[in-house]
Amino acid sequence: MTAVARPLRHEDHGMLLGQLALVLAPQARTLPVSVSLLLLLLLGWRWLLWRRRAPLPSRWMLGTTALLVLLVASALAWQAGGGVGRELAVALLGAFVILKLLECRALADATLVTQLSFYLLLTLYLSDQPFWLALYSLAIGAWVLRNWLLLHHPEARSRLAIWPMLGRMALLGLPWAVAMFVLFPRLEHPLWQLPQSAPTGTTGLSDTMRPGSVGQLIRSPALALRAEVAGPPLPAAVLYWRALVLWEYDGTTWRPARQRLHALAPAPAAVAAVAGRHGIDYSITLEPSSQHWLLVLDRGQALSPSAEAAVTPDGEFMSRRPVDQRIRYQARSTLAPAPEALDAATRRLALALPAGGNPRARALASAWAAQHSDPAARVQAALRLFAAAPFAYTLSPPPLGAEQVDSFVFDTRRGFCEHYASSFVFLMRAAGVPARVVTGYQGGEYNPIGGHYVVRQSDAHAWAEVWLDGRGWVRVDPTSAVAPNRIERGLDAVLGAETSAWRPAHQPGWLQDVRWAYEGMVYRWQRWVLQYDHAQQARLLATLGTGASAGQLLAGALGMLCLLALVPLWRRREHADPLDAAYDRFCEMLARHGCVRAPAEGPQDFAARASARLPQAAAAIAAVAAAYIGQRYGNADPARARQVAERVRAGTRDIAGVLRRQKSSRL
């Protein structure tokens, strides 16, 4: 569109102001509060001027404001470590677009503001791409297009059905967009990645465990992962999502053995069944955690190659880079792992305890060792202790003393999963049974509409594994001895009122159905749109079975769309009046020779003007015009329209020949 130098009306300013406010509103999700307030202040200033029909600020005032904005941006950049990240860059763009609106006086200025609004819409996708944002940006993008049309053609408001026209344009462009999205060759890795303004904290499991560390996560409704399991839903008691194995204990904190974490081997990549074992195939969409571990169901066996994972001797799957963005991978796990050998170094690690401390717990464990020669019987003795004594499962345990295990087992007897897992492993090691702590998540909410599990940070859990001769490492969850409903029915069945403030399970049934439908939509959006990568595209092409590459299919699809785009033109040409079509060609031919017909110019006036300009073809021009006028405006027989159209076409060819010969003779 060509910008015309004309002043803007009051309603044009209001339209631009509302448009910019709607474009900038979602930026408040990611921008710092101070930056959002600055943008709101600038928008409020512009709104007051528009509301009061006050004159726009002077260039001196705008320059001063721009300088203040740059000073604020410099202070924020210095506070963030001297770099200008994407949030600050977006904020600067938004601030200067508002300043441009404050000096917007002509149509050219309004056009620039409208074009920059499209850039601001694109910046909404730099942080994340939720489902609702796609719908919002499409709606606002259509609104901006509508405003752009009205800015340049105010008369379109009364002469055009604008929204139906935009709808037809969107429908025409939809097949092209789908073809480009599905078939355009996908890269295995992004070409570039935008930097963050500053490191951002992510809620999730830590690589250490101490009393209260897991309980803190229980209050977080943030997503940890979504999982889609092949086959029917699994029992809740099976849903142990394994993250880390903790070996070393200093009397307060459990930590992983660093030498085992660094002993990495390539993760098995073939997700295939293991003969004689119960296997489960599933896919996981893991939320960002800024950690290296990849969660698997219980004892993982293999991960898809796209995860780029390595595995530790303890069955922990580790990504080669921190998980700082949502990833999806296929996995296979077994519920009946093969027995493992226990070498001497691992046995020493699984029996190690800090020197001294917790004498009552050590004495109790020694009594079990003397009473039961079978290690499995010692495990059962510990579970009977937790089940028989007045232990309680709570998020608000009393503080422990210096001897934490003694204080919990014999005094307070109130705690969360990390209290029970830590005390159980200590007792087992003191009783001579190799044991270790495992952290991860337990359970998850099954979405019957989406057909997948939703695991939240509030499902964080800690349990134990003991090594038994002939069976290898066996999972033992001491929490189930105290609060079996925690495992079978979830956290809410045990804690009740303690979780009512943040757990979605306390919502009414109809609201849960709405939430499940929305989460199912979000999951499909993430799976088929946001995570449509090279691997998914390759699987789609293999399913089609064409044998062609993505580029070849894309070229074929675009060629077919080009041919389909010509169909309306062909249909219009077939149904066009032959006489009008012939007369249009006559006018086009004269236009190429410098005689352009005006929109409101009749055939007689046009022929007279063309004859005066091209006297060498005046007779032929008059003949063509007379034939057209006689058939179109006279009492001629309608059946003769095709014959007259042919005479007009023949006359047009004669005129073109005369003009061509005259041009050649001049040369």
> What residues does each domain of the chain span?
10-160, 213-509, 576-666
**487, 479 in Cβ contact below 8 A?**
yes
Question: What average pLDDT does range 353-373 have in this prediction?
Answer: 93
Q: Using the predicted structure, report yes or no on whether residue 544 has a pLDDT greater than 50.
A: yes
Q: Determine which one of 417, 452, 492, 595 is catalytic.
A: 417
Kindly state the helix (H) or strand (E) to which residue 255 belongs, with its residue range: strand 254-255
Q: Using the predicted structure, report yes or no on whether residue 581 has a pLDDT greater than 80.
A: yes
Say whether 104 is catalytic: no
Q: Using the predicted structure, report yes or no on whether residue 505 has a pLDDT greater than 90.
A: no
Q: Does the predicted model carry a pTM greater than 0.95?
A: no
Question: What average pLDDT does range 129-150 have in this prediction?
Answer: 89
Higher local confidence (pLDDT), 594 or 536: 594
Q: Determine which one of 13, 314, 461, 595 is catalytic.
A: 461
CA atoms of 492 and 362, how far apart (whole Å): 34
Alpha helices in 210-303 (DSSP H): 213-217, 258-261
Higher local confidence (pLDDT), 315 or 638: 315
CA atoms of 384 and 481, how far apart (whole Å): 7
CA atoms of 468 and 639, how far apart (whole Å): 101
Question: What average pLDDT does range 323-352 have in this prediction?
Answer: 88
Say whether 477 is catalytic: yes
CA atoms of 239 and 246, how far apart (whole Å): 20
Q: Determine which one of 298, 459, 477, 492 is catalytic.
A: 477
Two structure tokens written together for 234: 């699994």
% pLDDT > 70, the chain: 87
Sign (positive or negative) of CA dihedral 126, 128, 134, 137: negative
Which among 256, 243, 255, 248 has a CA at the least distance from the CA of 217? 243
Non-local CB neighbours of 550 within 8 Å, separated by 6+ positions: 183, 184, 185, 186, 537, 541
pLDDT at 83: 66
Q: Using the predicted structure, report yes or no on whether residue 539 has a pLDDT greater than 70.
A: yes
Give the 3-state DSSP-derived string for 401-454, with helices as H, strands as E and coil as C: CCCHHHHHHHHHCEECHHHHHHHHHHHHHHCCCCEEEEEEEECCEEECCCCEEE
Burial degree of 351 (CB within 10 A; 0-12, 13-18, 19+) = middle
pLDDT at 350: 95
Say whether 461 is catalytic: yes
CA distances from 494 to 223, 389, 500 (A): 21, 17, 12
Question: What average pLDDT does range 85-92 have in this prediction?
Answer: 82
SS3 490: coil
